[in-house]
Amino acid sequence: MSAPPLAGAPPADVAVPAAVRRLAGDRALRPVWLNGQGGLTFEVLGEPSSFVKFVPANSGGSLATEAAKLAWANPHAPSPRVLAFGHDETGEWLETAAMAGLNAVDERWRQDLAPVIAAVGRGLRALHDALPVADCPYSWMAEARREAVRHRAAAGLIIPADWRPELRHLSLDEALAIIEDIPPIDRLVVCHGDACAPNTLIGATGGWVGHVDFGALGLADRWADVAICAWSLDWNFGPGWDAAFYAAYGVDPDPDRIAYYRLLWALEG
């Protein structure tokens, strides 16, 4: 995406969708996330606790695919267990069981970021090592993503002025020309698809305990995840963490693949 979408904790008095209220019953709700498309996530408090995502109808988002991908990933890697999925004229909702840990950008970790960066890198490598390539029915390959970008460009949906500063020296035509040349696959893995720091969970002892938000999961070169995860550290913690992240993941930086997959991500919007 061109820059991190307008996302973060919603106001405490955000309107609760009726479907979410029905799922929660008389249990208290805590709003925890609002994304750039109007999707909301709530924590359902109580024992056991859970999380409910809701995407409004006609927002362009869908949770049906994420529910299926989670069901596939659950036996192989620490990921949210699906409790309920549904939809009506107002939108879709997905309830998952709570997992241990806090996301990597939680304020708890801000006083000592080095262990956080290490956990993010090791966690992504562990995820890539755990998910079975041969059994994965989902794809996130660059060829299909590139084709979707072409359609977005033709529809006038790509706005270079919205890109991150490090990409703004490119015109749209130049950027589209660059993504034509897909780098050879370094290592084919099942990618998370949105391996940004907020989607990494860290446990009480400072280690990786899982990931959330698997809607884009699919087969791809590992650099499709690695390049964006490292980039997200700049967004969330400031520059200077790349080397520690790559070391924790266990790979030397690959400038060509990093540049390619960051540009592709930016063009997807």
Catalytic residues: 194
Judge if the upstream peptide bond of residue 10 is cis by omega within 30 degrees of 0: no
Give CA angle at 101 (96, 107), nearest 5°. 115
Determine the Cα–Cα distance for residues 228 and 234; give it in Å rounded to an integer.
Answer: 10
The DSSP code for 37 is T
Q: Tell me the CB-side half-sphere exposure of residue 219, using CA atoms within 13 A.
A: 12
Element (H, E) at 53: strand 50-56
In the block, tokens 């034509």 appear at 180
Q: Tell me the CB-side half-sphere exposure of residue 28, using CA atoms within 13 A.
A: 7
> Helix (H, G, I), strand (E, B), or coil: what is residue 123?
helix
Determine the Cα–Cα distance for residues 238 and 246; give it in Å rounded to an integer.
Answer: 16
CA distance readout (Å), 114 to 117, 175, 194, 196, 221: 5, 34, 22, 16, 26
* C-beta separation of 80 from 69 below 8 A: no
